[in-house]
Amino acid sequence: MKNITWITGASAGIGKALVKKFNKEDINVIATSRRLNKLQEISKELNGSAEFSVYSNDVAKFIEVKELVEKIAKDYNIECLINNAGITSFKPFVENSIEEIEQIIDTNLKGAIYTIKSVLPRMIENNNGTIINILSVAAKTIFTNSSVYAASKAGLEIFSKVIREELRDKNIKVINVFPGATSTEIWPPAILNKHNSKMMNPTELAEMIYDVYKNSSKISPEEIVVRPITGDL
């Protein structure tokens, strides 16, 4: 059965850059997002010879995630999962609506837990696998107007640390990547326009993540913090 890498939140930003990098390196990829049209546009930009499939999927809905994994598993072995799907809302906590709080937690924290829950049994059965979580320096540094986002990323950080210990003897890597400010559409246009020149390039970040993925099977860089050379915004 062919190995494949599953990248969530793949329709833009870091996810899109990861799709292009892995495809360029002839890694089979399944890309998911709620925006299927964006994924289909990306497929037209790829030049690699590896297999590439796209699916509309909401990681915040466990049944959708479980059914997708069962479908993929009929033809592929999900050897690597990259949890990249994420949303935020830049405002003081007192201004966050309950709907915004639920959406951020459901996507950033529960969504990643759901994808891991769905792929892990087969990884354990195969005694092999890599889980890469794209977190944020907001899980480690205080930034105002990002309380719920920071909580979701910090929650996924500690969750990942716990399951990493549980999987020590299963040959499964759990790697947390903490990017600093990266030039993606997650930022409000005003901030992006003001600070874009200081932000990291998603393509360069994707290349670093790919290098981590391709690292020796006996080495696991468990946490990687990456910031712009000028530091946080």
CB 232 within 8 A of CB 179: no
Query: Any idea of the CA torsion for 34, 35, 36, 40, to the nearest 10 degrees?
Result: -140
Distance CA 108, CA 114 (A): 10
What would the pLDDT profile of 141-192 be if each residue is shown by its tens digit? 999 999 999 999 999 999 999 999 999 999 999 999 999 989 887 877 887 8
Distance CA 15, CA 24 (A): 14
pLDDT of residue 49: 87
CB 34 within 8 A of CB 2: no
pLDDT of residue 72: 97
CB 76 within 8 A of CB 119: no
pLDDT of residue 217: 78
pLDDT of residue 1: 87
**Which residue has tokens 């993925």?**
213
**What domains sit in the chain, N to C, each tagged with a CATH number?**
2-226 (3.40.50.720)
Q: Which residues are catalytic?
A: 149
User: How many residues are listed for the chain in this entry?
Assistant: 233
- Which neighbouring-strand residues pair with 29? 5, 52
The list of the chain residues with pLDDT below 70 reads: none
